[in-house]
Structure 1
Amino acid sequence: MKKTLVILALTIFSFANAQKGTVLVSGNVSFWANKDSDQGSESKYENFNFSPKVGYQFKDNWTVGVEAGFLSSKNEYTYQENESNNQERITKNFSAGAFVRYSKSLSQMFLIYTDLGVGYQNHKETETNSFSTPSTTKTTFDGVYANFAPGLFINIKNNFGLNFGIGGLTYSNTKSDRNNGSSSNFYFNFGQTFSAGISKNF
């Protein structure tokens, strides 16, 4: 039986100046957790993510800047009948790069924008197993990323409003410190995820 303990939707805090020659400061903050129980086993999952951005709007429709990402997640698997099978995985991600944003006003109420970001990423995984012989394995991945993410801003009053995102496209290329293994992936979740938050233009 699946039970959801806590689900906090992605919250976006964005403070931006829509005029040329101004500074954009924005960021995404999210926390998500759930709990699954099924026939003597239980799994718990927690995820926290924070992604700030700072940019300079050099033209009315164009902004360039720097971005970063911090993600921490924890997976726990426990078995009531055999605790020696319990497992735990902790993941920590860090990324830093540059982005360019193009925005276009549709009316005084609606504005659409698209962010394109590229940069460096670091991914660390720690797995602990309480088998007959307990063990802990640590793996580090380093590499590059590129992402494309469109969004919609709705102006409620005095440039204060709501941001909405519906996913995008991400490319990731990483190399592991274990046996020099490498991985290259495309993630397409356009129309499959949803984010909502608040925004203020000064």
Structure 2
Amino acid sequence: MKKLLVVVALFVATLSNAQKGHIFLGGDVGYSSEKIGDAKSTNFEFAPRVGYMFANTWGVGVEGSIQNIDLAGSPKTERYKIGGFLRYITPITETFAFYADLGGGYQTYSVNDAKGMYAFFTPNLSINVKHGVALNFSIGGIKYDNLDGHNDPRQERFSFDFGNSFNIGISKNFSL
């Protein structure tokens, strides 16, 4: 039930050329697989977002993520995130827009029942394809997260990964 509520509460976001009073939906789906010798790992993530433009260039929204990680020889693990974000959008042309998201939230990790917080700043480029549908591109950002688990030391990560990652997303804009 808890997983279902997270999925329903999170359902998608990102957008280009938003206007006041619009709702935007989008998100990311990711899969990776790695094999080193006999060891294999797979990772699947579903990260929806939904937001509302309260001004022509400002929006606010909620996001979530469900991630399944399978490492050979280790128990399957799951990571859940739920949080919020503030978005600033500025059109460059009728087709292109720049937007940046600043946000954070709560996360859990099934290994040792770890819990913690996360924060991020991510600049993006959006290409308006047609009828409120946009492709969104990011080349990294600034991220921080921490996890506290039972009988494990506190984990903290900070990354400044501009140019070290590449993400593509899709979004849809709806008028109210």
- Tell me if the contact between 1:17 and 1:24 (Cα under 8 Å) persists in the aligned partners: no
Unaligned runs of 5+ in 2: 1-11
Alignment of 1:62-73 (within 5 A): 62-73=58-69
Tell me whether 1:60 sits opposite 2:56 in the alignment: yes
Which residue in 2 is equivalent to 1:43? 39
Whole-Å separation in 2 of the counterparts to 1:89 and 1:167: 30
The structure with the greater share of residues assigned to helix is: 2
SS in 2 for 1:59: coil
Match of 1:95 in 2: 81
The one-letter code matched in structure 2 to 1:184 is: E
Letter in 1 for 2:95: M
Task: Give the structure-1-normalised TM-score.
Answer: 0.73
Matched with 1:7 is: none
Q: Distance in 2 between matches of 1:71 and 1:101?
A: 24
Asked if 1 retains the 8 angstrom alpha-carbon contact of 2:16 and 2:89, the reply is no
| 2:159 pairs with 1:187 | yes
In 2, Cα distance between equivalents of 1:46 and 1:18: 36
Q: Structure 1 or 2: larger strand share?
A: 1
Deviation at 1:101, TM superposition (A): 0.7
Of 108, 128, 143 in structure 2, the residue corresponding to residue 122 of structure 1 is 108
Contact 2:22 2:173 in 1 (8 A): no
CA distance in 1, matches of 2:119, 2:13: 22
Does the alignment pair 1:112 with 2:98?
Answer: yes
Structure 1 residues 50 and 71: CA distance shift in structure 2, 3 A: same
Partner of 2:127: 154
Cα distance in 2, alignment partners of residues 183 and 35 from structure 1: 25
Decide whether the 8 Å contact of 1:109 with 1:154 is kept in 2: yes
**How many pairs align?**
163
Query: What are the Cα deviations for residues 21-80 of structure 1, in whole angstroms up to 9, with x where unaligned?
Result: 12122211111223333xxxx12111110111111110011111211111111111xxxx
Which has more radius of gyration? 1
5 Å-filtered alignment, 1:4-83, equals: 14=14, 18-37=18-37, 42-76=38-72
Report if aligned partners of 1:16, 1:25 keep a CA contact under 8 Å in 2. no
TM-score, normalization: structure 2?
Answer: 0.82
What displacement does 1:114 show? 0.7
